[in-house]
Structure 1
Amino acid sequence: MSVAQLLSAATKLLDQAYVPYSHFPVGAALLTTDDQIITGCNIENASYGLTNCAERTAIFQAVAQGHRDFKALLVTGVTDEVISPCGACRQVISEFCTPEMPVYLTNQNQQVAKMTVQELLPGAFDAEDLDHD
């Protein structure tokens, strides 16, 4: 599966984004280890704290469908520079994806930056941090 295919899938979700407040559509495409692409878009709410980002929408949708193993994530938006996940999304990504998994930060100008999950959130809070023994 190519970055171009992931970008195409994420781009299609820009039109599905529900962004009546920010007018800032974001699309995401998550690649499972069995080469399925699960997509997501941002979904806003008048109570801003209840807004869900595209990356989390894709991950939650994948998990709800029974997927737990992922190969790559791509995020795109209509931005001048590549788009980058917010802190909450970085934490969720680190919960479900391996530290070395690639995350492609893109925009609609064909710019691409490749990072790993660990580069996005070094020292991520994880299940081991909950072990009190």
Structure 2
Amino acid sequence: MDNVSLKQIAQKFAGSKRLNDFIEYGGVAAAIETIDGNIYTGVSIDTACSMGFCAEHSAVAEMLKHGESQIKSLVAVDEEGNAVPPCGRCRELISQLSKENLKATIEVKNGIIVTLAEILPYDWKEDPGRAW
């Protein structure tokens, strides 16, 4: 699947919705394509007490639920459909799922696609003495 199509899938789920006085969700939506060609999506959850999580985490949970952990490409979008880069927490989670995910492509800004390795420099897991 090309990145434009993956982005369009994510855009279907982007749009902030207020659940109650404490929770909004969907301000960011993400779509992951695995190396097996499956697509998983997720939305952000924002809470009054910072207990929410990112759209990428939500999509990763869906992917893991289906027994997959290797990502081919990922995109997250805001409510206007603009690509947004994953935060540091999401980058780290994705890198820990599989060393192969360092090759995953990520749209970090509209039209700018890089690998996870490029946005996760000096990865602490790359210590030659550390076993995966």
Please report the TM-score for the alignment, with normalisation by the length of structure 2.
Answer: 0.78
**Residue of structure 1 in register with 2:46 after alignment:** 44
CA RMSD of aligned residues (A): 3.0
SS in 2 for 1:73: strand
The percentage of aligned residue pairs carrying the same residue is 25
1:105, distance to aligned residue in structure 2 (A)? 2.5
- Residue 124 of structure 2 is aligned to residue 122 of structure 1: no
1:91, distance to aligned residue in structure 2 (A)? 0.8
1:18, distance to aligned residue in structure 2 (A)? 6.1
C-alpha deviations, 1:85-119, integer Å up to 9, x for none? 1111111121125222211124xxxx221011011
For residues 41 and 80 of structure 1, the distance between their equivalents in structure 2, rounded to whole angstroms, comes to: 13
| Residues 2-81 of structure 1 mapped to structure 2, 5 A cutoff | 2-15=2-15, 25-48=27-50, 50-78=51-79
- Of 101, 106, 126, 1:103 maps to 106
The change in CA–CA distance for 1:28 and 1:82 in structure 2 (over 3 A counts) is: closer
Provide the aligned length of Structure 1 versus Structure 2.
Answer: 127
Q: Match of 1:46, as an amino acid?
A: A
Q: Is the 8 A contact 1:31 1:38 kept in 2?
A: yes
- Residue 95 of structure 2 is aligned to residue 87 of structure 1: no
C-alpha deviations, 1:15-73, integer Å up to 9, x for none? 3766866788111110011211100110122211x111011111121012211222111
For residues 57 and 33 of structure 2, the distance between their equivalents in structure 1, rounded to whole angstroms, comes to: 14
